Amino acid sequence: MSAGLVALGDSFVEGRGDPATGGGYRGWVARLGGQLGMRPAAVRNLGVHGATTTAVVAAQLPSAVAARSNVYGVVVGVNDLVSDFEPDRFAENLRVIFGTLCDSGATVFTASYPDIPARLPVPDGFRGLLRERFDYANTTLAEVTANTGAELLDIAARPEWERAEVWTEDGLHPSPLGHRLFAAGAAEVIASATATNVAA
């Protein structure tokens, strides 16, 4: 297993909302790698705009496993929830993703789903439906992480993630402040997990 960080997921992982000098995105993945003292070459960002849990299982998970990293970050599912949502498929994909990565012995972390429906310009009826899906997703994610041993950064329960300045105007992607905030929270989760493993 090599010392490094591999991140899987959608545009939240890709870094949208946090533009880099010269083009592209910086995002929380690169910021977290720096906080962990990792060389840029040791950080791989597999995040793709529009990716669903099914896409991560099919296209990103094999590459992530082949990397044999000691830290994995996964944020995915919002595209499932706002478009082609099938609860059983969603839950099974999460079990596959986190079960596979945690079986490698690496530290694996993810984040809960914040109240994105509150910020989307959609009819109230559809907003209510989305909130039901997000509640289901958070319950399922909590169960899967507890069963697999993945670490959960519960941003849905943190009031700072309700601040408008943490998000871009589209309501879906973190602002540069949001990406910095997420990187800091992820670093805390990783440090806590590492300390627990050492003590054990």
Q: How far apart are the first and last CA of the chain?
A: 20
* Tokens coding 34: 């720096």
Answer positive or negative: Cα dihedral of 165, 168, 174, 175. negative
Q: Is 140 helix (H, G, I), strand (E, B) or coil?
A: helix
pTM of the model: 0.95
* Tokens coding 81: 């929830």
- For the chain, helix (H) and strand (E) counts, in that order, are 8, 5
Number of domains in the chain: 1
Looking from the CA of 86 toward its CB, the CA atoms found within 13 Å total 8
CA-to-CA separations, 35 to 31, 152, 180, in angstroms, rounded = 6, 19, 10
Strand-pair partners of 110: 74, 152
Question: Mind listing the pLDDT tens digit of every residue in the chain (200 residues)?
Answer: 778 999 999 999 999 999 999 999 999 999 999 999 999 999 999 999 999 999 999 999 999 999 999 999 999 999 999 998 999 999 999 999 999 999 999 999 999 999 999 988 899 999 999 999 999 999 999 999 999 999 999 999 999 999 999 999 999 999 999 999 999 999 999 999 987 765 55
Cβ–Cβ under 8 Å, residues 45 and 112: no
- What's the domain range around 52? 2-199
Residue 95's CATH number: 3.40.50.1110
